[in-house]
Structure 1
Amino acid sequence: MLPCALSCLSVLGAAGTALLCAGLLLGLAQLLWTLRWMLSRDRASALPLPKGSMGWPFFGETLHWLVQGSRFHSARRERYGTVFKTHLLGRPVVRVSGAENVRTILLGEHRLVRSQWPQSAHILLGSHTLLGAVGEPHRRRRQVLARVFSRAALERYVPRLQGALRREVRAWCAARRPVAVYDAAKALTFRMAARILLGLRLDEAQCAELSRTFEQFVENLFSLPLDVPFSGLRKVLPPSPRPSSWGSLDAPAGHFFLKYILLIY
């Protein structure tokens, strides 16, 4: 009986020691994580950092943000005010709300602040996109794309858009069955974008597969920048089989858009 009691006590003692060590390690990691962001502040500025928390090492407050949703921002705004710091999706973030604060930021782009997307978006989109460009490259690319979506350019798309819409509505009427308007409209929008902007003629199977790939990409664009199994980033990064041809190229439809895209590079 006594050896059994001693054995139980030794197990409890070992478990308590392990928990104590784990708690100390977590506390030390939390302290070093907080210290890191305190030391990385801009020493050229005497202004203090906003109130807030950087959360747990590496994860920051991402898990809280995913679980709480919109309540995450409202709770911290009540606690810290309209400007607070946090750590989301692998990056330190300062959350700003209030009309006057937002106005200052929007009018100060490239002077006071510059736009920056989460690291996962940079990994998936690359550095040569409009979102990844800063300064003069960003200004030049934005000017080029503005011509693509100008009034004159949109007027050139109208006849093709009208034809596609008529054909789609006729197909809905001929089906003689209920139409899931949201899904059908979403598929139609995607198909017209591929046709009008890129000049691709896709059949139903190609359009459905490309649309699924696009939706999966968008759903995981803002995720933790960790390329590990079952992560959002891993779902998008691995290459997947594609048809040998994405349909024929409708040159008149896509030429106008593509020639301006080529100017960016």
Structure 2
Amino acid sequence: MDLACFVLWVFFFPIAAVVSFNFLRHKKRCNRNHKKLPPGEMGLPWIGETMEFFNAQKRNQLFEEFVQPRIRKHGKIFKTRIMGSPTVVVNGAEANRFFLSNEFKLVKSSWPSSSVELMGRESIMEKEGERHRVLRGVIGTSLGYAGLEVLVPKMCNSVQLHLASNWHGQERLSLYWSAKVLTFSIVFECLLGINVEPGMLDTFERVLEGVFSPAVMFPGSKFWRAKKARKEIEKMLVNVVREKRKKMEENLERGEDGMLLSRLIAGMIQGEISEQEVIDNVVLLVFAAHDTSSFAIAMTFKMLAQHSDCYNKLLQEHVDIMSSKRWGENLTLEDIKKMKYTWQVARESMRLFPPIFGSFRKAIAYIDYEGFSIPKGWKVLWTAYGTHYNEEYFKDPMSFNPNRFEDSVPPYAFVPFGGGPRVCAGYQLAKLNILIFVHYVVTQYDWSLLHPDEPITMDPLPFPSLGMPIRVFPKHS
């Protein structure tokens, strides 16, 4: 070996050895991880199985047409690619518990960019750690026991006014749209203390249309229209918030009305919450509270119309509550607690027709679960249907049986409001919405469905495709 070859050997051999070692180690790790990845098909690059996912979603057959066939083929945990992201879909109460309770530790909430833009980057759905704790604490205080005691009579007045204005004298109406109008008004006027102006609901509806659409600012696109509507909402809310803050700072309003907006602005004045956080969380709360509640109300009435034995039992519960009240006297929180069977009916309706399909999380660490590995950065999708329609948790799951909720349900098996640190903050408000509305309707009206087999569609949340038209008859006694 000549000198030149010797020098090259001495110089390059260590480098080559290190490169080879790192390559082999990386290859070994990749092979190990690859072997542990859940089974499934990733489809085409970037596109993956997105089209199959969205087509099934639009028909409200996401579980039946997308998830269930893959469970049969691959098992309860499988991988796919949706909207450019490698995704692991998980099913079952233990999976729900693991991923929902490990929020901020192993996973974090992961929403499409269009949702973040329209709901707000400063909303609680994007917050973690201390900021999440502060905002959730303010919202939770307004929906604690003392807050609910104040809310109930306000909501009773809103429901009775709504029925007098929109149901009285009508022979036919859209139950779903009626519930949307009512729940929208309740969030704004009873919870936030903001008057609903004409056209506000329509503006919020335009925002909702773009929540899951591609975030492309092309004139005329869903996202473009939604972004434009979002700016209108923000302009209105900025004026409301600044006027309210000015009055509170000048002691013209003490902010002791128990309203959520007052609590948020008090946090602003103390320097704990920014103005943008107030705006974004009001927007998020309106969507989270009124769209899901109106669908849950509609499905509860659909089930009551189709199961006369359940309706008769529920009606007797409300007649008994009425018998203890003076004429015109509002319900109290104690009356709400007596509506045990009504809440069983509502829960069973939400089990069969969850207001949300599930939600995405993003792995913020390398996760080992059930013998599989989920790489950091991958998405995780948990589903409500994965337990709601499972014989393991609910016997004869496709039948309507409110009595199943007389007994305790396994944790994380019934998840219409999610679970863990991000469980829906408006859960108690939704419960009041459903129970109070049911009380005043069943004690004042009879009704029948005009289209008993009306299909459910999604765009982007589930709703009865025809608006659930009903024929109404005022009770004579």
Does TM, scored on the shorter chain, surpass 0.5? yes
Whether the 8 Å CA contact 1:55–1:86 is kept in 2: the answer is: yes
| Counterpart-to-counterpart distance in 1, 2:180 and 2:215 | 28
Equivalent residue, structure 2, for 1:109: 103
The aligned residue for residue 53 of structure 1 is 41
Relative to structure 1, the CA distance from residue 226 to residue 85 in structure 2 (aligned partners, 3 Å threshold; closer, same or farther) is farther
> Aligned pairs, how many?
220
* Superposition map of 1:59-138 within 5 A: 59-69=47-57, 70=62, 71-138=65-132
Distance in 2 of aligned mates of 1:90 and 1:200: 40
| Deviation per residue, 1:20-73 (Å, 9 max, x gap) | xxxxxxxxxxxxxxxxxxx9xx98x95833233333344332211111332111
1 CA distance for matches of 2:84 and 2:222? 14
Which residue is 1:27 aligned to? none
Equivalent in the alignment of 1:196: 190
- In structure 2, the residue corresponding to 1:200 is in which secondary structure? coil
Q: Structure 1 residues 78, 216: CA separation in 2 closer, same or farther (over 3 Å shift)?
A: farther
Is structure 2 residue 263 aligned with structure 1 residue 260? Answer: yes
Q: C-alpha separation between the residues in 2 aligned to 1:186 and 1:109?
A: 31
| CA–CA separation in structure 2 for the residues paired with 1:132 and 1:231 | 25
Task: Determine the structure 2 residue equivalent to 1:143.
Answer: 137
Task: Give the Cα separation in 2 of the matches to 1:134 and 1:52.
Answer: 31
Q: 223, 228, 237: which is aligned to 1:238?
A: 228
Identical positions, percent: 29
Cα distance change of structure 1 residues 83 and 230 upon mapping to structure 2, 3 Å threshold: farther
Q: Which of the pair has the greater relative contact order for Cα pairs under 8 Å at 6+ separation? A: 2
Corresponding letter in the other structure for 2:186: M
What is the CA distance between 1:230 and its match in structure 2? 5.4
**What is the TM-score when the length of structure 1 is the normalising length?**
0.68
Q: Which of these residues, 217, 227, 235, is aligned with residue 207 of structure 2? A: 217
Runs (5+) with no aligned partner, structure 1:
1-38
The secondary structure found in structure 2 opposite 1:194 is: helix
How far residue 100 of structure 1 moved from its aligned partner, in angstroms, is: 2.2
In structure 1, give the amino acid aligned to 2:37. Answer: L
Segments of 4+ in structure 1 off by > 4 A?
A: 239-255
| Deviations 1:80-101, CA, capped at 9 Å, x for gaps | 3222222323433221112222
Match of residue 185 from structure 1: 179
Q: Deviation at 1:174?
A: 4.6
Give TM-score, length-normalised by structure 2.
0.40
Alignment-derived partner of residue 226 in structure 1: 216
Task: Report if aligned partners of 2:77, 2:90 keep a CA contact under 8 Å in 1.
Answer: yes
Contact 2:207–2:227 under 8 Å retained in 1: no
Structure 1 distance, partners of 2:175, 2:53, is 32
Deviation of residue 152 (structure 1)? 0.9
Specify whether residues 241 and 201 from structure 1 end up closer, same or farther in structure 2 by C-alpha distance, changes over 3 A only: same
Q: CA deviation at 1:237?
A: 1.6
Task: Return closer, same or farther for 1:103/1:200 CA change in 2, 3 Å cut-off.
Answer: closer
Q: Specify the code of the residue in structure 1 equivalent to 2:124.
A: L
Distance in structure 2 (CA, Å) of the matches to 1:242 and 1:108? 37
Could you tell me whether the CA contact under 8 Å between 1:90 and 1:224 is conserved in 2? no
CA distance in 2: counterparts of 1:105 and 1:85, whole angstroms: 16
Contact 1:86–1:92 (Cα < 8 Å) also in 2: yes
Q: 1:222 to 1:241 in 2, by over 3 A?
A: closer
Change (3 A) 1:88 1:100: same
Structure with bigger strand share is 2
Q: Deviations over 1:155-178 (max 9, x none)?
A: 112222222222222234653543
CA contact (8 A) 1:124 1:221 kept: yes
SS of residue in 2 equivalent to 1:95:
strand
Deviates more, 1:242-251 or 1:151-160: 242-251
3-state SS of 2:89 partner: strand
Contact residue 195 and residue 253 of structure 1 kept, 8 A: no
- 1:196-227 deviations in Å (ceiling 9; x for gaps): 22322235xx1xx2212222322331233333
CA contact (8 A) 1:50 1:83 kept: yes
How many Å separate the matches in 1 of 2:149 and 2:220?
44
Match of 1:164 among 149, 158, 175: 158
| CA spacing shift, 1:121–1:92, aligned 2, 3 Å | farther
